[in-house]
Every structure is written in C-alpha cells, then in structure tokens.
Amino acid sequence: MNGNVIDGKAVAAKIREETAAKVAELKAKYGKVPGLAVVIVGERKDSQTYVRMKKKACEEVGIASFGADLPESATQAEVLAVVAAFNANPDVHGILVQLPLPKHIDEQAVLGAISVEKDVDGFHPLNIGRLAMKGREPLFTPCTPLGCMVLLERCGIPIKGRRAVVVGRSNIVGMPAALLLNKRDATVTVVHSATPKAEAEAICRQADIIIAAAGQAQLVRGSWVKPGAAIIDVGTNPIDDKTKASGYRLVGDAHFDECKAVAGAITPVPGGVGPMTIAILLRNTAESGERFLTGAVKVSGAEKKQERKGLAKLLPTREQLASPLPVLAAAVGVAAGAVLQRATAGRR
Amino acid sequence: MNGNVIDGKAVAAKIREETAAKVAELKAKYGKVPGLAVVIVGERKDSQTYVRMKKKACEEVGIASFGADLPESATQAEVLAVVAAFNANPDVHGILVQLPLPKHIDEQAVLGAISVEKDVDGFHPLNIGRLAMKGREPLFTPCTPLGCMVLLERCGIPIKGRRAVVVGRSNIVGMPAALLLNKRDATVTVVHSATPKAEAEAICRQADIIIAAAGQAQLVRGSWVKPGAAIIDVGTNPIDDKTKASGYRLVGDAHFDECKAVAGAITPVPGGVGPMTIAILLRNTAESGERFLTGAVKVSGAEKKQERKGLAKLLPTREQLASPLPVLAAAVGVAAGAVLQRATAGRR
C-alpha cells in the first residue's frame, strides 16, 4: 500500500514470483512445465493485445504458451476442433478462449467444450456451480474476482463477518465475486442495473468492502463510501482527456479522488486489479499443471468420468495429435489463416 | 391469501392440477407418462415418510413412480449402480436421491452421478452453475426455492428492483433462492451464521422480501420486519408444546404471530412452503418428461455430449435394462434387501 492506495502491481509481481518458483519446482521434479493455450478468433486490436500480454507473461514465469489464431471467418466447428485438440494435448494444462468471439460463434458452446480440468478461466458452469456450493470447491476460480480477493487478503483486510457489496453481476466478475465473498463468510449484497441508484448508494454506504464491477465510469462516488471501507475497482473505462496525447484516459468504476478521500483502502486504475488478472491466470495454470503432473485432479469420480469419457469421444487420438495441423485441417477444413503455434520463447 | 396469510396449500393444489393436465396431455399425445425414480438408502423414519408422500403425490397427478429401497448397509457401488440404471431407463425422467444418505456413502459422488437431464432436484453443480449465470438457464431449479418464487409470483408480490434478504445459505434452499431472486432482478443480500445478529436484523428491516431458511426456530422476530414486507418461511422446527398430544409442534424460522402483525404477506408453518416443494417436484418431473418425449432437451451441444457420452460408458445397455435386477445384482452384488420396484399404482 502507498498510503491508502493498494499497489496491485506489487501484489501481482509477488504472485508471479511465487508462480515462477512453483513452475521451476515442477520442472525440476517432473522435467515438464505447465502449458497454457490461448485461442483467439478474429482481428480485434484489444483482444490481440491481451493475448500478446498473456503469452509474454507466460514466458516470464516459465509456462509454455500455445496459441491458435483463427480468422474472423472461422466456423464454429473449426473453433471447437481447436479446443478439442488442446483438451487432448497432454502438454496443455490450461485453455483460454479470448472473448468476445465473433457473433456467428456460440460462446456458450465453445466455453462449455473446454475440459473442466483445463478451464483456467473458471467460467465452465460446473466450476461456477461448485463455487456457489457449500462444501464444494471449483477446480478454478475466475481470475479477476479471485484477484480481488487476493488483494484484500494480502492487504490484511478482514472479510469474514463483514458487509460487502458487489456493484454489477456479470458472469466473469460480479457474480463470481459475490459467490467468493459469501464463501469467505462476508455478508454480501449484489446491486445491479435494476437497483434504484439511490438505493445502490445507501447499500454501498453500509459496506466494509465494495467491489465495483459495473463497467460504468466513476459510478461509485465519495458519498457512497463508508469512512474506512475498502474499495476494489474492477472498471477500466476510457473517458475524454484533452491533456493526453491519445485524447483519453482510463478511469475505474469508482471516482478515485473522491473515494480515496473517504476509503481506508482503494485500488487505482490502472495498476490495481488489472495486473492481478494475468497473475492469477498464471497461478491457475501452474496449479493445473501441478495437478496433472502429480496425477491429483480433484474432481469427484462420477463427474470426472462424465467429463473425461465424454471428451474422449470428441477428441483426436494421441497419434493424430503428434501432427495437429493436418488433422485439424482434414477434420474441419481450417482456413488458411488459422495457425496453431507453440511459442515458449519469442514473441508472436 | 387469507388476510395477509399466504395459502401454500391452495397454490400447491393449483400447481398439481396444472401438472396433472400436462401429464394427461402427454399421455394422450405420446402414449407415455413422465416417470420419477426415488432412491432411498437406510431406514430413517422421516425419510421413509417423505418418500411415501412423494410417491403418493406422483400417483395423484398420473406420474409413474419408480423406487429403489436399499438397506442401510448398501455400498456406494450399489447406490451408484441403482442411479446408473435409472439414468439409462427411458421410462424414468426424474431421479431423486432422498437425503441424508448414510455416512459411509459419498453424497457428492451419488448426486454427481445423476444425469443432469434427470436431476429434478436441481442439485447437480451444472444446474447450480447455470442458475448462477446470466444468459443461462438450468434444466431444473431446486424445488423449495422455486416454490418460494412461485408463491411470491402467484400472490402478485413484485420482485424486480425490490430489496430481498435470504436468511441462510444452504445448498438446497438459501443459496439457490438468492440466485433465483437475483435472476429475477431483486437486489439480494444473503445473511448467515457469520453475520452479526444485530446486523441481520437491520438488513432484514430494509427488505421488501424475506426468505427465512436458517433452520432456527422463530429467528426472525417482528422487529426484523419492515411494515408491509413479504415473508416466505422455509423453516419447520419442532418446539416443545405441552398442549399437544405429541408434546411438540412445528414452527417456522419466523415468529409467526409477531411477523404477521407487521408483514404485508406471510406463509404459515405448516401449510406454506412445505406443500410447494412436492408440487414443484411433480412439475419439474412433468417438464422433464415433456422434454424427453418431445426430444427437446435444452442442454448445449458440447455439455450434453460430455454428459451423455460419459454416462453411456457407465451404464448397462438397453438389453441389460430389460431385466435390471439380475444385471445389477451381477454387476455389484446388490444386497438381498435392495428392491427395485415400479409402483404406478398402489402404495409401497
């Protein structure tokens, strides 16, 4: 912390360091490293940037990175075939499909096809279900919400028995953040687009912890904050700023200056939650690699069989995987622009 | 409603009537009726009573009921084999395992083995995950929480944009009730054992809807209730009552007389939520039967394959199923006390 500002970069650097140590340990013990496959479809500049950042981050901690770049015109069958190949690839322990996908691709079908054992994003309904359930643990917890929790914990902010408010209920941040906070014994309220704004403000003012994940620039004002509360700001919204060469700057879902004046702790944007997302992705991948390498995948017997045996039928054989590209091309007619690449070193 | 008391029996009777009509329609159209299998392990008197009630209720609406009674000494393999047989039986569209199971049986493994397409209790993590996720729908919603929602809806109590508090966070009531209320756009807070009691009271006093599902007799007092609020009381707790021949009576998680004086609407115990649970179980089973009979099971392609193909490997073949008992006995050595029975008519 710098004053009451939480240094997300520093916490993320620590997580990456711990992850690098874990990867080195696995390499020494098993002669193998965890592997992450990132699937991207289409040419969105922001998605390309995120994927590049993820691959670079993998290299830095020693995780093998695998990639599939599919053109905007890729069919759903092509995307599913790529996922199936990574499901079956024993060197891949985590699979991430960069969202959003082009409109003609069924996102649910693609995410649902990722083996739950390699779902490092934690978005599979089986993982979300386990996250919601008492006495169950998901194999993976979504990276951004888990990053929020790790920030709270590493900054010594108590959670158990405290009032927490999650602003926003997206599948990738708000909803799993609420489930996580509840699992750690906070008393959680979720406010959202159907909550009258005055009520959202009143509820936030009762909270010891606010997770702002509404995707609205500076929604949470100073007047919303109880003195001493912790604010974890997940938003990154561009707003006009003529003092910048780009003409804009990024702000969070909380009004930083106003909230900082009242809060006990607050994450900045950028440099707060952002760096945590990738750090947790790396940690999730390393944990997955460890589970596979030690043979200790923690899925209940029956569910695991449902998953495993189900996938076995969808997948190419191990021999086919020795040369993935021709097989995929033959199986689904992958377009010429689609490139399956292995990139442990060097940039894409 | 009688005054401000919600008549759960009347609403449940209406749901059963609608379900009976649906069953008759399916029978006329397809020559088949929906089927529910209830698995019970051990000799618990209360469980035996619940199972008997469920079977009787099935008969009344025309649903075929199937049963497996396993002795307390049954092994996990035996229980799983029974579930597998019902998974594979095309006349069974819903499978319910009566809880609690004996201690030596792994409840998660047994519940996880039920085909998600026949999980009429809605407890499978895939169904819970879909319930939590925006844009997804579970195949089945847990009966008691859904019963609470139906009571609210049929009594014309608005949910969208209202403050709701769920007291308790069990996997079978509190947690799914919170997810359901959120899905219907209430602003939901979950209070639980780690919430300071004074705070639980203060939060409840802000609520338009209170779902009391803590399993604590008369926890919610009149002072907890905002004038006009709706209280859905899921508790059924025995307390001493010397005026009764039995020496006890059942009370809810809300103090009925105190709360009734303040609330706009309240469910009694008994006669409130209780009758709804079985009514919704019947409705879930009829919906499942309809899905199977019309061939319209709404699972996403990839997930369905994971489920279906996984199960196919676990299950006896269709020929084996023609005579289930010898196969099961051969496969897992079912104890002599285990009886697989079909009981469309007559009591067990």
Strand partners, B339: B69
Residue B46 domain flag: no
Strand partners, B97: B39
- Minimal CA separation from B53 to chain A, in Å: 28
Alpha-carbon gap, residue B200 to A34, rounded angstroms:
45
Alpha-carbon gap, residue B160 to B259, rounded angstroms:
23
User: What φ, ψ does residue B66 adopt, rounded to 5°?
Assistant: -120, 145
Give the pLDDT of chain A (348 residues) as one tens digit per residue.
889 999 999 999 999 999 999 999 999 999 999 999 999 999 999 999 999 999 999 999 999 999 999 999 999 999 999 999 999 999 999 999 999 999 999 998 999 899 999 999 999 999 999 999 999 999 999 999 999 999 999 999 999 999 999 999 999 999 999 999 999 999 999 999 999 999 999 999 999 999 999 999 999 999 999 999 999 999 999 999 999 999 999 999 999 999 999 999 999 999 999 999 999 999 999 999 999 999 876 444 444 444 443 333 333 333 333 333 333 333 333 333 333 444 333 333
- CATH assignment at residue A246: 3.40.50.720
The stretches of A76-226 forming alpha helices (DSSP H) are 76-88, 107-113, 125-132, 143-154, 174-183, 197-205
- Kindly report the average pLDDT of chain A as a whole number: 87
Q: In the prediction, which pLDDT does A297 show? A: 67
- This complex has an ipTM of 0.85
Most B-contacting residue of A114, A306, A309, A315 (CB-CB within 10 A), to test interface: A306
Residue A232's alpha-carbon distances to A147, A201, A224, A235, B274, in angstroms, are 10, 16, 14, 9, 41
**Cis preceding linkage at B275, omega within 30:** no
- Minimal CA separation from B176 to chain A, in Å: 9
Collect all residues of chain B within an 8 Å Cβ-Cβ radius of residue A160.
Answer: 194
- How many other CB atoms are there within 10 angstroms of residue B299's CB atom? 18
Q: In the prediction, which pLDDT does B100 show? A: 92
Residue B77's alpha-carbon distances to A168, B39, B273, B323, in angstroms, are 44, 14, 35, 19
CA B31 to chain centre: 27
Residue A188 domain flag: yes
Q: In the prediction, which pLDDT does B289 show? A: 97
| A125, A195, A200: residue with CB nearest B136 | A125
A3 touches chain B (CB under 8 A): no
B54 is catalytic: yes
Residue B262 domain flag: yes
Q: In the prediction, which pLDDT does B167 show? A: 98
Residue B169 domain flag: yes
Q: How many domains does chain A have?
A: 1
Tell me the pTM: 0.86
Residue B245 domain flag: yes
A100 touches chain B (CB under 8 A): no
Alpha-carbon gap, residue B227 to B249, rounded angstroms:
27
User: Considering only CA atoms, which of A157, A196, A194, A152 is closest in space to residue A177?
Assistant: A152
Structure tokens at A309: 């045996």
Residue B283 domain flag: no
Q: In the prediction, which pLDDT does A2 show? A: 85
Residue B160 domain flag: yes
What residue ranges of chain B have pLDDT lower than 50? 298-348
CA B5 to chain centre: 23
**Residue in the block written with tokens 């919603």:** B141
Q: In the prediction, which pLDDT does B313 show? A: 32
Collect all residues of chain A within an 8 Å Cβ-Cβ radius of residue B134.
Answer: 169-171, 175
Structure tokens at A308: 């495993």
The answer to whether B272 and B142 have CB atoms below 8 angstroms apart is no
The answer to whether A57 and A83 have CB atoms below 8 angstroms apart is no
The kind and range of the H/E element at B10 are helix B8-30
B32 is catalytic: no
B162 touches chain A (CB under 8 A): no
The answer to whether A194 and B185 have CB atoms below 8 angstroms apart is yes
Structure tokens at B62: 């025309």
A101 touches chain B (CB under 8 A): no
Q: Degrees (nearest 5) of the Cα angle B304, B308, B310? A: 115
Most B-contacting residue of A82, A83, A133 (CB-CB within 10 A), to test interface: A133
- Minimal CA separation from A112 to chain B, in Å: 6
**Residue in the block written with tokens 């996984």:** B310
User: Considering only CA atoms, which of B310, B307, B311 is closest in space to residue B299?
Assistant: B307
Structure tokens at B69: 């009674």
Query: Which domain, by its residues, includes A169?
Result: 143-274
Task: Give the active site residue among B22, B69, B98, B208.
Answer: B98
Residue B200 domain flag: yes
> Which SS3 state, helix, strand or coil, does residue B136 take?
coil
Q: In the prediction, which pLDDT does A162 show? A: 98
Q: In the prediction, which pLDDT does A329 show? A: 34
pLDDT tens digits for range B94-134 = 999 999 999 999 998 999 899 999 999 999 999 999 999 99
Collect all residues of chain A within an 8 Å Cβ-Cβ radius of residue B109.
Answer: 300-302
Task: Give the active site residue among B121, B208, B233, B253.
Answer: B121
Alpha-carbon gap, residue B50 to B40, rounded angstroms:
10
